[in-house]
Chains A and B, each alone.
Chain A
Amino acid sequence: MRIEADRGKCDGLGMCEAMAPDFFEVGEDGTVVVLDERPGEEHRQDLAAAVDACPVLALKLT
């Protein structure tokens, strides 16, 4: 599984970090940093929730 973040779209609202703090963090510049781009399958549910929480649809799971 791969997390793709479109940092151009990201508005830095931090919802992904709120849902899955082990995988996302909003950086100093106000855009998201993906902490682990290739997480294990067991995290799919948490990650799906974080992807869905993004107000500007900047995240994708592939």
Chain B
Amino acid sequence: MTLVVVGASLAGLRAVEAARRTGYRGRVVLVGAEEHLPYDRPPLSKAFLATGGPVAVEPFHSEEVLREVLGVELMLGAPAEGLDIGAREVTVAGTAVRYDALVIATGATARTLPGARTLRTAEDAVAVRAALDRGARTVVIGAGFIGSEVASAARARGLPVTIVEAAAVPLARAVGETAGAALAGLHHEAGTELRLGTEVTGVTEDGVHLAGGEVLPADLVVAGIGAVPATGWLEGSGLVLHERDRGVVCDATLSAGAPGVYAAGDVAHVANPLFDGHLRLEHWTNAAEQGAAAARHALDPASARPLEAVPYFWSDWYGHRIQFVGTPVADEVVTAGDTTLYRRGDRLVGALTVDRPREIMKHRRRIATGAAWADALAFAGTA
């Protein structure tokens, strides 16, 4: 029996760990495009960009632990190039690797903009950090979570930073318009200039060119404009890829529709019984939970059960912790102080908090159990 995991980051690592935890003793091959051992991404835009932060990106486990304790055969710096679901083979660096069980965990790649940097990998983080160390004047394109964290890191060093965002309200897709507008206020308070409803036409040596003709001078330009599933290697494999972004379409058990093949993390569109429809999430917890489940299901398909996890993510800006659970797609949104609640029908479906760490998981549980809206409002009012 051979388990092959393609993608050596969070979801892939959790897959390998979960496989061993179930008592599986067979062969495990972990294939990764990056040269690095699996490492964690959230710190790249947080602790790693701070003055006095860690200087090197540390892996989750040493190579020794991966090889000796977890018994993993590593194929790093070697992207998978193709998948043959009939022969049950993955092509890696020209050779065929046979699998009985396969977990696809190739994540997503940052969308790029010529002249601007991205922040997705360890190399990206080293480059952004070096520019901040040199005291860069920074322009961030895109007021999403990663762009906002970069701005936060720059302000923490007292450096000037401008965020340019095409939408009139930032984060509308992630948290809805009301909360997005409120979060934008954190940028103002911290002295980050936020240009909303502003299109970027290009980036040159002179800086960032705006649609109106204005040029914002910059030493560091970071594009935080989203990420696309890394599925080029799956084109033509017969797996169903999502029509919009080519992510791997999975059922609620993470099955990608071919024998033994499961997908997890940023790459996967997963049917979600709680929120009707398919969700592709780019959240840490989602990747960790799905990675583990995908490996268990791939090794023992008879045990596969639908996942019913409530989405959760956090972000840290200017010393504030933003936490979100559930979905922002709602009939009504109510904000009370630092908590925003999202209603669909008579149920609570989402919650956003700023600096209320005690509450967020309680909201998550309420969402999971289909709590009534009135109860959720009462809890938020008294908490």
Residues of A that sit less than 8 Å from B by CB: 12-15, 17-18, 21, 25-28, 30, 48, 52-53, 55
Contact = CB atoms under 8 A, between A and B. Distances in A.
* Max chain B C-beta neighbours (<10 A), residue from A15, A18, A52: A18
26 contacts: A12-B357, A13-B314, A14-B357, A14-B361, A15-B285, A15-B312, A18-B364, A21-B361, A21-B365, A25-B358, A26-B357, A26-B358, A26-B360, A26-B361, A27-B357, A27-B358, A28-B357, A28-B358, A30-B321, A30-B357, A48-B21, A52-B17, A52-B21, A53-B285, A55-B42, A55-B285
B318 interface: no
Interface string B306-322: 00000010100000010
Contacts of A48: 21
B142 to A, nearest CB: 24
* Max chain B C-beta neighbours (<10 A), residue from A14, A30, A48, A52: A14
Nearest to A30: B357
Contacts of A18: 312, 361, 364-365
> Main SS of the interface on chain B?
helix
Nearest to A32: B357
A17 B321 contact: no
Interface string B42-80: 100000000000000000000000000000000000000
B216 interface: no
A52 B314 CA distance: 18
A12 B361 contact: no
A55 B361 contact: no
Interface range on chain B (Cβ under 8 Å from partner):
10 to 19
B156 interface: no
B288 interface: yes
A53 B365 contact: no
* Max chain A C-beta neighbours (<10 A), residue from B284, B323, B361, B364: B361
Interface in B292-312: 292, 312
Pairs of residues from A and B, 6 with the lowest C-beta to C-beta distance, nearest first: A14-B361, A17-B361, A30-B357, A26-B357, A12-B357, A18-B361
Interface in B1-44: 17, 21, 40, 42
Given A18-B312, A25-B358, 19 more contacts: A12-B321, A13-B314, A14-B360, A15-B285, A15-B312, A18-B361, A18-B364, A21-B365, A26-B357, A27-B357, A27-B358, A28-B357, A30-B321, A30-B357, A52-B292, A53-B289, A55-B42, A55-B284, A55-B288
A29 B361 CA distance: 15
A9 B335 CA distance: 32
A17 B312 CA distance: 13
A26 B355 CA distance: 12
A30 B356 CA distance: 8
Nearest to B355: A30
A53 B284 CA distance: 10
A53 to B, nearest CB: 7
Contacts of B42: 55
